[in-house]
Structure 1
Amino acid sequence: MNAKAEAFTNNPEDTKSSEYYQEQYEQSFAEKWDELINWEARAQSEGRFFIDLLKERGKTKILDVAAGTGFHSIRLIEEGFDVTTVDGSPEMLAQAFRNGRNRGHILSTIQADWRSLNKSVDGKYDAVICLGNSFTHLFSERARRKTLAEFYAALRHDGILILDQRNYDRILDEGFSTKHKYYYAGKDVSAEPESISDELTRFKYTFPDGSVHYLNMFPLRKDYTRRLMTEVGFQYIETYGDFKEESPDGEKPDFYIHVAEKQYDPNRDKDE
């Protein structure tokens, strides 16, 4: 374990910085990630939500900016999308490339820092996707605004951003609970917060072989995330809970998915 990775284990309060977000995924953790999410279980839990959403809106050229080990990149490629696979962690990106190759695909991969994304990524995209609760790795508002602005700039005039996050409102206000159904659905693994505060949520990931890893995250509240998107320039945002437009009464989702549109639609103002 390198010195920075060790800091996440021993001194989490010292690493409340966006500068560390790429360092958390050391090679041993990247190799465990697929065991944590369980591709088959995750595909079953989210169904065709992202695939259908993109197809219904006519989006074909996709920038997956938090690709991790390639789950969504590969699913979209297999549905006919043109996907560019990006991650800040070289370890995660290497694992994504191996996963793609094992399934008969050669991923177009780019290692890039979100905060300077367009220095590494050329062209414009129909959609930028930032999934897997990844945006919460940024600890400063300045970094979050800069990153959203980079996403915005990478989109065509009518492009969309799809960004998800844990339901930190529930975690902060009521404590942690999970259905263990969405995102981290691996068998005999756990992903639970070891400490919770308004400034830092430290998650502990435990695997059947006894290995333990940690990730530090900023607990984004839903309305705050939506406000930042609007202030950066996105014109309309629709938020889903656990892949549904509306959760049943009394049911609080584990995850939120925000779909933000870049293009202004004057007809929507008339409808509202």
Structure 2
Amino acid sequence: MSETTVLSLDEIPKKQDFGEKPTKRRESDNYQAEYVKNFVERWDELIDWEARADSEGRFFIDQLKELGKHKVLDVATGTGFHSVQLLNAGFNVTSADGNGQMLIKAFDNAKKYGHVLQSVHADWRWLNRDVDGRYDAVICLGNSFTHLFDEDDRRRCLAEFYSVLKHDGVLILDQRNYDNILDKGFSSKHKYYYCGDKVSAEPVHIDDGLARFEYAFSDGSKHHLNMFPLRKKYMRNLLLESGFQTVETFGDFQETFHDDEPDFFVHVVKKSYAKNPDEAE
């Protein structure tokens, strides 16, 4: 696959354009044309920062602290929610995103909370080209990994995440429960990730190669995202095949769950195998 140039701010489209056959748009690079200015400006209505903070609590903060991680690379910063949450908790955070419009919004949001965001405009597939140093942890949240349609892209990105981590680093990556959507149809508690009560987020098309979601706002405006429906087992295997040693999966931030219950899965992935302290030397 040839290298893709990350668009400058002037090149970011103002309106979404999926062409005449939107369900045929199944390319990893399409996210640039999806996160247009008008959609980015309304993204926080979908998230609802206060409601989301209440729903997920201290899950990510506690996970990182329990693992002794401090220097964090947020590779899917979006409008900055998790970067700001971690900065508020005292972590050293670098915020990266492939969409410049998102980074502008994240920078402005961080200022409201008294932070100057350390931001990097970066494509995951060439992450180590644009990001300096090594990190204790990489977080890839907000169902962002499902923007990658090509398996070679997924493997390349995981290799980049692996490389930017220190030898004992950890990757935290989440995804929708696409297994349930594909096998049983869509349902959502709207309790955890997309908490805005004036926005609906539902699939308008689903097959083994595409989950096309529609985001409808209270004023009647609509935006769409085309994503690849990653199955949980496939994602866990892909992480292990990429060199990571262990994968622990949570369902809606719970360690114990039935597969058809959670809206989202969170994978906590360790680069090195940590021996049980009770094991004999």
TM-score, normalized by length of structure 2? 0.92
Matches within 5 A, 1:68-217: 68-217=78-227
Letter in 2 for 1:69: T
Deviations 1:59-99 (A, max 9, x none): 00000000100000000000000000001111111100000
Give the one of 3, 18, 32 matched to 1:7: 18
**SS where residue 104 of structure 2 aligns?**
helix
Give the match's secondary structure for 1:169: helix
**Alignment CA distance shift 1:108-1:169 (3 Å):** same
DSSP 3-state at the match of 1:22: helix
Gaps of 5+ in 1: none
| Closer, same or farther: CA 135–28 of 1 in aligned 2, 3 Å | same
1:246 equivalent in structure 2:
256
Paired amino acid for 1:260: V
Alpha-carbon shift at residue 130 of structure 1 (Å): 0.1
> Secondary structure of the equivalent of 2:33?
coil
Q: Which residue among 255, 262, 268 is the counterpart of 2:271? A: 262
Distance in 1, matches of 2:264 and 2:203, equals 15
Alignment partner of 2:186: what SS?
coil
| Between 36-45 and 249-258, the greater mean CA deviation after superposition | 249-258
Note closer, same or farther for the CA distance 1:164–1:211 as it changes in structure 2 (3 Å cut). same
- CA positional deviation for 1:166: 0.2
- Runs of at least 5 residues in structure 2 that lack an aligned partner in the other structure: 1-11
Offset from partner CA, 1:157-179 (integer Å, 9 cap, x none):
00000000000000000000000
How many residue pairs align between the two structures? 269
